[in-house]
């Protein structure tokens, strides 16, 4: 529940703030979620192990990877684009 709430808040902040640092925070959150998911599939903490055979598992993995792509692209574009002050000169 807390992870869902944090994800929604970060998503809204990314849209509203539109800064590189919040994009990096979003990438970190998404990568952490993906890492936790992979740990639950491979090791199964607390005696519960996910299975790759479930369609929900492959969908969740795909969505986590898809979430990382636009966040990473946005941060790279932001870092490579000239700043506003440079455009005004």
Secondary structure E strands in 3-79: none
Torsional sign, CA 35, 6, 21, 71: positive
Query: Is 52 part of any domain?
Result: yes
| Residues shown for the chain | 89
At residue 84 the predicted structure's pLDDT band, cuts being 50, 70 and 90, is low
Assess if residue 16 is contained within a domain: no
Does residue 79 register a pLDDT over 60? Answer: yes
Compute the distance between CA of residue 73 and CA of residue 77 in angstroms, rounded to an integer: 6
Does some domain include residue 8?
A: no
Q: What is the mean pLDDT of the chain?
A: 81
pLDDT band at 82 (very low <50, low <70, confident <90, very high): confident
Domain-located, residue 65: yes
Is 3 a domain residue?
Answer: no
Q: Which two tokens stand for residue 19?
A: 């800064």
| pLDDT band at residue 85 using 50, 70 and 90 as cut-offs | low
Residue range(s) defining the domain that contains residue 68? 31-78
Domain tally, the chain: 1
64 domain-assigned: yes
Describe the crossing of helices 2-17 and 20-42 by its angle, rounded to 10 degrees.
150
Q: What is the DSSP letter of 83?
A: P
């Amino acid at each position: 529940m807390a992870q869902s709430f944090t994800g929604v808040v970060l998503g809204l902040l990314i849209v509203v703030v539109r800064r590189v640092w919040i994009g990096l925070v979003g990438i970190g959150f998404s990568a952490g979620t993906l890492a936790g998911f992979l740990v639950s599939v491979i090791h199964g903490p607390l005696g519960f192990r996910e299975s790759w055979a479930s369609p929900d598992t492959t969908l969740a993995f795909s969505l986590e990877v898809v979430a990382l792509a636009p966040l990473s692209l946005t941060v790279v574009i932001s870092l490579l684009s000239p700043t506003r002050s440079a455009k005004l000169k």
